[in-house]
Amino acid sequence: MKKIIPALFAAVCCLYTFGETRPNIILILADDLGYGDVGFMGCTDIPTPHIDALATEGVRFTNGTVTHSFCSPSRAGIMAGRYQQRFGHENNVPFSADDLTLGLPVTEKLLPQALKEAGYTTAMFGKWHLGGTEPFHPLNRGFDELYGFLGGGHKYFPEQLTIETPTHRFDEYKTKLLRNRERVEETEHLTEAFTREACAFIERQSADKPFFIYLSYNAPHTPLQPSKETLERVPNLKGKRRQYAGLVVGLDDGVGRVFQTLEKTGHRNNTLIFFLSDNGGPLPHGADNGELRDDKGTVYEGGIRVPFTVSWPGIIPAGVDYEPVVSSLDIYATAAAVAGTTAPEERPLDGVNLIPYLTGEDKTLPHEILFWRQGGGGTWAARQGNLKMSEVRNTVELHDLDKDISESNDLSATYPEKLQNLKARLRSWNKKLVKPLWNNPTPPKKDEAR
Ligand code: CA
């Protein structure tokens, strides 16, 4: 059996890597976009025709999850393809311009690094949030090119980007953008700037070498600063919902322009595109998570279930739903498989290559069980099929998500054995984890300008 598995894997790799048929890979990550904030998930008050077109061309995950309910840990899981609690990246990394310990541990081999070694040209546009100092700089983590910023959030209006050299932890929102390691003068709204740079990158690529783009928009994360033009396209909304919607409209425009550029350059049919949000939408900022319980920051579904779609014309079926639970961890494993590369043996991936599941070749479940832990413990969840256990501030609940998507009917007294089983599985998983390497940054004090 041991011999058969590598042989099969090699055959699959040959299939994907024969000639130059390996696809380009684009990972579009939205920031704090709610489960109910795009048309393909049922949103009716914000127009998102381009994002919806992606879903129409591919598969819509109705149970698409991320590994954490806020930014930095979720992104660490995506980039490493492994539960971020395995390597201590469990809290938001505090922004620092000089601390050489605050960032995604360099012992992890990140997705861009694996793809670069496999022969891909790699580029990142947008938000990093995985460390602000040189060891963690995207150019040291596998990217050939960067246009963006290193912190966890940013002003959108270019006239507000005034800081050349950040010194204070709240300077990060106002720093000038980086082109690789150089500060630049930007003149466009941030969402438009990242779109422009991604499209220009695509225009520069040839057909004989595949590329990987990590298009990491900070929209619609706060500050709620849509452009005047996008705000005018949601005239019927009010208050924060309107501001938030303006940012989503800009994001959708960006996806549309990337899509058009792929078509114009002849790359579309050979490009695998993932689109998802890094965590659930924050309700106080105008997001909408549909029927899901709660929002960003919690392990209830509103925090960890996100809009998530993947497309690859001619390979992945178009316009269908895939209902089994998938994870953002699967992005790395899928991308590595189609690129014909693997993860280091000593650091096995937690995700799976989704392609055989989506083509129908593999009819089993991608994941028998998935786990969540926040803040080093105290907040937990486990999902096995339709059953989900959650523990939040000592409140333990069990829900059947097929019948109760809103997690409103606690079944822990009805199925105590099932609950105990999930708890035991969580404890067993927890033994393989380490403590968080740092605490979440404290909120700004009253006298700290932001
Ligand atoms: Ca986020």
pLDDT, mean of each 10-residue run, the chain (450 residues) = 42 47 96 98 98 97 98 98 98 91 97 98 98 97 98 97 90 96 98 98 96 98 98 98 98 98 97 98 98 98 98 97 98 98 90 98 98 96 98 96 98 98 98 97 66
- How far, in Å, from the CA of 349 to the mean position of ligand 1? 23
**CA-based nearest residue to 192, from 177, 207, 181, 182:** 177
- How far, in Å, from the CA of 148 to the mean position of ligand 1? 16
Produce one character per residue of 163-196: b if its CB has 16 or more CB atoms within 10 Å, e if not: eeebeebebbbbbbbbeeeeeeebeebbbbbbbb
- How far, in Å, from the CA of 73 to the mean position of ligand 1? 9
Whole-structure pTM value: 0.95
Active site residues: 71, 129
Cis? peptide before 223, omega within 30° of 0: yes
- How far, in Å, from the CA of 71 to the mean position of ligand 1? 4
Which residues make beta-bridge pairs with 65? 305, 327
**C-alpha–C-alpha distance, residues 84 and 108, integer Å:** 10
- How far, in Å, from the CA of 265 to the mean position of ligand 1? 31
- How far, in Å, from the CA of 215 to the mean position of ligand 1? 14
**Tokens encoding 197:** 């740079």
- How far, in Å, from the CA of 404 to the mean position of ligand 1? 26
- How far, in Å, from the CA of 328 to the mean position of ligand 1? 13
- How far, in Å, from the CA of 161 to the mean position of ligand 1? 21
pLDDT score for 169: 81
Query: How far from chain centre, in Å, is Cα 277?
Result: 5
Query: How far from chain centre, in Å, is Cα 128?
Result: 11
Q: How far is CA 357 from CA 95, 306, 343, 361, 370, in A?
A: 39, 20, 20, 6, 17
- How far, in Å, from the CA of 317 to the mean position of ligand 1? 29
Strands annotated E in 83-207: 121-127, 145-149, 178-179, 182-183
- How far, in Å, from the CA of 363 to the mean position of ligand 1? 32
- How far, in Å, from the CA of 136 to the mean position of ligand 1? 19
pLDDT score for 21: 82
pLDDT score for 1: 37
Residue type at position 249: V
**C-alpha–C-alpha distance, residues 284 and 123, integer Å:** 33
